[in-house]
Amino acid sequence: MRRPAWQKSYHDVLETIFVSMVLVALYGLAPRLYGTVMLNARAASVEALALAATQELCVQESWAVTGRLPAPASCIDARPDARPPGRFVSAISAPDPTPSFQYQFGTRMPALAHQHLDVWLVEGPGEFPATWAWRCGPALPAPGMHAVGTDHTSIPAGELPASCRALGDHVASR
């Protein structure tokens, strides 16, 4: 019986088994070493930002048609076929009469269970609505812009996507 060209001796089989065992051990340790829970929580938060596009578009379209900002609650059912709204987002609400939306997380992501992320409107200098921007979490508006909506996010800053964190959250302390 001939051996394959890549197999020179029985050591090749043992080396393959050893490397496989090391990879299995690393696979088991990776979640603890790389903070997979936090990365998954950030990914779930990104789902909320993707769902926010529907409500943001509703507000902008209503402004274009009527010339005024709609009640945020009227834009929540802009996509009634999405029940529940997402895999991790269990509900969408409008907690204030200002242009802001709240995305509540269910129990599918234990790190974010029963917490919420807010997406809110800011406006800047210049002709409205040309200077609209949507912000999320405690992220501060750019200089010269002021908040039109409000933020009530309950997720810790470390579990938010980078775009939703306040500037002070990722500046190293001296």
- Give the 3-state secondary structure of the chain: CCCCCCCCCCHHHHHHHHHHHHHHHHHHHHHHHHCHHHHHHHHHHHHHHHHHHHHHHHHHHHHHHHCCCCCHHHHHHHCCCCCCCCCCEEEEECCCCCCEEEEEECCCCHHHCCCEEEEEEEECCCCCCCCEEEEECCCCCCCCCEECCCCCCCCCHHHCCHHHCCHHHHCCCC
24 is a domain residue: no
Residue 169's pLDDT is what? 42
Instruction: Provide the number of structural domains found in the chain.
Output: 1
- CATH number where 96 lies: 3.30.700.10
pLDDT digits (tens, 9 = 90+) for 5-30: 666 666 667 788 888 899 888 877 76
Domain interval for residue 81: 36-170
Residue 51 lies in a domain: yes
- Is 66 within the bounds of a domain? yes
Does 44 reside within a domain?
Answer: yes
Q: Indicate whether 21 belongs to any domain.
A: no
pLDDT above 90 covers a percentage of the chain that reads 7
Q: Does 135 fall in a domain?
A: yes
